[in-house]
Chains A and B, each alone.
Chain A
């Protein structure tokens, strides 16, 4: 795909930074879900 430097830079900013934010946001939600699915329990061996 041929493109000038400006188009390339803006694409990287939008897709790259946007992609990073979305990926980390998604992972953040998944970690919250994991925390809820497998909560910490005091007694050893009974968690999750």
Chain B
């Protein structure tokens, strides 16, 4: 009987023994802790980093079965990530909470939203140069969309083994936009350009235009890039619900209850893809490095495009607003306003930057949709 008791008690310590055998899992427990610390103490994307950090810890506990067949996170993963459902549900919420009024008031800012997507394609080329397979390079490049759901949608579909690294890079760098962008913006613009005052004459947009906007984007964008239609359609459905004003309950649910539940599940699933042996590889570090580069390149190209507009318009457009042409909404616009104020206290760039930022949000989705359709056109994907 004594032997049975000792064997039974042995079952209680085997997890601790395994912890020291599998060193990668031990490190990842620490990484999970750091993600939780960043979310809770540093307020870096806490809605995502808290569940991601916890999921990371769960999957790295020795003999954890959460991601094995019928494990509880595996079940959620199969239902929402494998099917690409979660990022799309998040997009309905994003559409319902975003006011595209600033970009509709100044449609030229759509172009700034396009320039901010250069990082995707330049990083893709760099990843190919470093030897990543084609679809892996596409998933790495998409970090440059600065758009978590888009990155997750594309990666879960075409390079699911990179999902953890790509998602963590996308969300971490998005939260670091206020740190990453200002030095690049300051370095690429002259003193005179930074001080350029842009007058904002609030140009209201009619309700009809606001209602037609999501329909036009869905139909025209869908015809040009049908492979990305789910991305475009969901964000525009959310926006149509918001602007119509007749389905306030649905819009409210999309931006609150649905978005909250899906964010929790999404975060847990992403964290659970960060199992030590699969995550601790040189490849992961390279992906994190390339992701950082992607966001820097977005900023560089955005500001350079802003400089081009500055020249074309005879100095009427402050090139700083070009850096807001990314999807990190409204953080990138606030960064522009803050940097602009540092050089000219009377320069209120916020509304112009909000236009570029809303353009960047549409731009990142369009860029992903176009990319998928080009890939389909080349026969790389079906």
A residues bordering B, Cβ < 8 Å? 1, 3, 5-6, 8-13, 15-17, 19-21, 23-32, 34-35, 38-41, 47-48
Known: A25-B111, A41-B206, A47-B208. A20 touches B370 (CB 8 A): yes
A17, A27, A40: residue with the most chain B Cβ atoms closer than 10 Å: A27
Closest 8 CB pairs of A and B: A48-B208, A28-B110, A9-B125, A38-B208, A31-B107, A19-B370, A24-B114, A40-B204
B212 is an interface residue with CB less than 8 A from chain A: yes
CB-contacts of B120-134 with A (<8 A): 120-122, 124-125, 128-129, 134
Q: Is the CB of A31 within 8 A of B370?
A: no
Contact A12 to B205, CB < 8 A, known contacts A20-B363, A23-B225, A27-B217: no
14 contacts between A and B (CB under 8 A): A5-B134, A11-B378, A12-B124, A13-B125, A20-B363, A20-B370, A23-B220, A24-B111, A25-B114, A27-B216, A28-B108, A31-B103, A31-B110, A40-B204
Known contacts: A8-B128, A16-B374. The answer to whether A26 contacts B114 by CB under 8 A is no
Contact of A16 among B129, B224, B370, B379 (CB under 8 A): B370
Residues of B within 8 A of A19 (CB): 224-225, 370, 373-374
- B208 near A23 with CB under 8 A, answer no
Nearest to A42 among chain B residues (CB) is B204
Q: Is B207 an interface residue (CB 8 A)?
A: yes
Chain B residues with Cβ below 8 Å from A1 are 378-380
Among A10, A21, A25, A32, which residue has the most Cβ atoms of chain B within 10 A?
A21
The answer on a CB contact under 8 Å between A23 and B366 is yes
